[in-house]
A = this chain, B = another copy of it.
Amino acid sequence: MARVFNFSAGPSVLPLSVLQKAAGELIEYGSAGMSVMEMSHRSKEYMTIITQAEALLRELMQVPDNYKVLFQQGGATLQFATIPMNLLTTFNRNADYIHTGIWSKKAIAECNRQGHARIAASSEAENFTRIPRQDELDLDPAAAYVHMTTNNTIFGTEFPYIPDVGDVPLVADMSSNIMSREMDVSKFGLIYAGAQKNLGPAGVTLVIIREDLLGRHAGLPLMLDYKVQAEKESMLNTPPTYGIYMLGLVLQWIKENGGIASIEKKNIHKAAKLYQAIDNNDFYCCPTEVESRSRMNVPFTLKNPDLDATFLAEAEQQGLMNLKGHRLSGGMRASIYNAMSEEGIDALIAFMEDFANRNG
């Protein structure tokens, strides 16, 4: 079978050229005579791979020198716990959370196991169909940090702005839109992201942390202590070596495609096309507020939900996969991360128009 168009919310589509390169050197990497998976993480070859991946990440995201870049494990879900563990202090157990969906809900629950997560703003009453505006944020200047989720995969919303939180460190879960748009890293105290949307395969978790936030809390398990991980340069123990190698290949692909600014332009164009196709056709509806719409995850419903199953089955027959919406939001969802080609968007739009014509 040929390659499909994979609209999965994550793990998700990877660039074909990256997969081809990985397949070509899976058994023997360069002149090493072995697979990257078989390399000691402390070998010269592997050290080059991980060092280059970090350098490329710093270059593409323009990470300032006073930030550490860490390759961790456990996904955003472990970070939900690790962040309060590291950033709450003995005397300040309070943090502000901007509540925009299921992922922030999970982050809030983990913080509440260790301290107190105060809700600085929430769009729960509107079923998370929009992002709270800056003037709606009720911020505590004494909070240990402010937590936000930059993009929400399930409800298809995305912050169109970086909140101004004064001198309190801003902590951002960027799992689902990292490197899809330019972000001023210096506005954040800590950025984290599971790799499995825009960065590579599942199993690698990126953490970018401002140095002054290291070591707020002593005596943590070593693996969960950002200060220790920073000192050991992500090599406290064996890192997920192959995942980091794949991440490096994806970063190289981003660079070859003009860097984040250029990728962002394509993402704006792809998302605009798809939203327009939805908005211009009464057969479909997008529930999210226009200003809050995600460029990564596009939820939409059919006017007649009885046709949902038929829509999905026919889409699959045309190689348009994983369009079913999350059970919490229902309907459809097209996840169109960096690696989703415009060709994929066009194929989806053509199918949607055809389906509407036949069933409308």
Contact = CB atoms under 8 A, between A and B. Distances in A.
A128 to B, nearest CB: 19
A27 B37 contact: no
Given A23-B23, A27-B3, A12 B38 contact: yes
A136 B22 CA distance: 51
B16 A38 contact: no
A6 B223 contact: no
Nearest to A194: B238
A287 interface: no
A27 B19 contact: yes
Interface stretch (A39-47, A166-174, A178-186, A299-307): A39-47
Contact of A81 (B222, B319, B321): B222
Interface in A1-33: 1-4, 6, 8-14, 16, 19-20, 22-24, 26-28, 31-33
A27 B16 contact: yes
9 contacts: A3-B27, A8-B40, A11-B40, A12-B38, A13-B38, A76-B237, A77-B236, A82-B221, A201-B240
A32 B11 CA distance: 14
Q: Is the interface of A mostly helix, strand, loop or mixed?
A: loop
Contacts of A240: 73, 201-203, 240, 243
Contacts of A80: 221
Contacts of A10: 40, 238
A163 interface: no
Given A11-B238, A28-B1, A37 B77 contact: no
A221 B113 contact: yes
Interface in A222-242: 222-224, 236-242
A23 B27 contact: yes
A108 B344 CA distance: 53
A151 to B, nearest CB: 16
Nearest to A319: B33
Contact of A202 (B14, B81, B200, B241): B241
Nearest to A219: B113
Contacts of A165: none
A132 interface: no
Contacts of A12: 38, 40
A229 to B, nearest CB: 11
